[in-house]
Amino acid sequence: MKSIWKGAISFGLVSIPVQLYSATEEHGVSFRQVHAADGGRIRYRRFCELEDREVQYAEITRAYETEDGELVVLTPEDLAELPLPSKKIIDVVGFEEVGFFDPIQFSRAYYVKAADAAAAKPYVLLREALKRSGRVAVVKVALRNREAPALVRVLEEEDVLVLHTMLWPDEVRSAQAVAPDEKVTVRRQELDMVDSLMDALGGYDPEEFTDEYREAVEALVASKEGIAPLPKEAAAGEERGQVIDLMSALEASVQAARDKRGGTAAPRKKAAAKKTTAKKTAGTKTTGTKTAGTKKTAAKKTGTAGKKTAAKTAGKKTAKKTTRKPGKAA
């Protein structure tokens, strides 16, 4: 792996030289655009609309578009001189319990590596302190031309630190518009049946999940190349209409799940103790201070960056598995 950032984690008077590595990579299907008539590749050219000519990449710089449409040109030198401490420093501004942040706020994940032998001792010290306290470090970092809040936690399966960049509170949309409009009541028998269905379905097994779309595209490509015949179309499943009898549908679902698993239900895990959710206001994020505020998962938009992430949800500590769950940081 190639490091994408070099700098230091700073907390108190302690500085830990570190390097960041991308922790994930996607393996989706990639297409190219071609001319439908003859299959020729489509190319895009960089064109200056004022001079009406093609320009080379070396002639291109950046510009910021204002609200009235004016373009303010910014050179690489201008951007390099920005007074931004987080360009090379991951500044620890506080600590929170594992599960404090809602996963909806997470953006990308990076492995944190000690930059040299001298950094190993303070690195391990921070790692062990986080493990013993059950907390995560709340930090600010500038990556890929963007400053963002982030957290540093311990990936216990591999005993390394992981940095998760997060969205600003005003970048998380409110969920009020998608919540059910009417008050709905459910019976205890229905809840019990859903519990039975969850037990019958069992837990997460990564070996049971495949990218069927990718496999279908690869099979289609192989058939067009004459390498293999196109697989027969899978039988269409029974069309699902509106559920009239919820209990009957649940009972049938439970039976189908048990039949699929060989007539046995997965053992139910002991439920984790519920944790009271406390919300915090998205205040200006200049230090690690916090203010009490409204109970909303997504903080209201305030129009300025530099705000403290606002949602706190009850979280479960990451299960120790060989395969890690994507998108979960606790």
Kindly state whether residue 78 falls inside one of the protein's structural domains. Answer: no
Kindly state whether residue 133 falls inside one of the protein's structural domains. Answer: yes
Q: How far is CA 133 from CA 127, 171, 315, in A?
A: 10, 30, 15
Residue whose structure tokens are 């930059």: 115
Whole-number average pLDDT of the chain: 79
18-22, 88-92, 103-107, 249-253: range with lowest mean pLDDT: 249-253
Kindly state whether residue 89 falls inside one of the protein's structural domains. Answer: yes
CA distance 166 to 103: 9
Number of domains observed in the structure of the chain? 1
CATH code assigned at 106 = 2.40.290.10
Give the model confidence (pLDDT) of 136-194 as tens digits: 999 999 987 789 999 999 998 899 999 999 999 999 999 888 888 778 888 899 899 89
pTM as predicted: 0.67
Domain span holding position 137: 3-24+84-171
Instruction: Tell which wins on pLDDT, 119 or 288.
Output: 119
Give the model confidence (pLDDT) of 59-90 as tens digits: 999 999 999 999 999 998 888 888 777 788 99
Kindly state whether residue 314 falls inside one of the protein's structural domains. Answer: no
Percent of the chain with pLDDT over 70: 76
Per-residue burial over 124-148, b = 16 or more CB atoms within 10 Å of its CB, e = otherwise: eebbeebeeeebbbbbbbbbeeebb
Cα dihedral value 182, 276, 273, 266, nearest 10: 30
Residue whose structure tokens are 């070396």: 58
State residue 267's pLDDT score: 57
State residue 34's pLDDT score: 95
Give the model confidence (pLDDT) of 267-318 as tens digits: 555 544 444 444 443 344 444 444 434 444 444 444 444 444 443 443 444 4
Kindly state whether residue 119 falls inside one of the protein's structural domains. Answer: yes
Question: Average pLDDT of 229-234?
Answer: 72
- Length of the chain as a residue count: 330
Kindly state whether residue 96 falls inside one of the protein's structural domains. Answer: yes
Q: Which of 202, 318, 330 minimizes the C-alpha distance to 267?
A: 202
Kindly state whether residue 203 falls inside one of the protein's structural domains. Answer: no
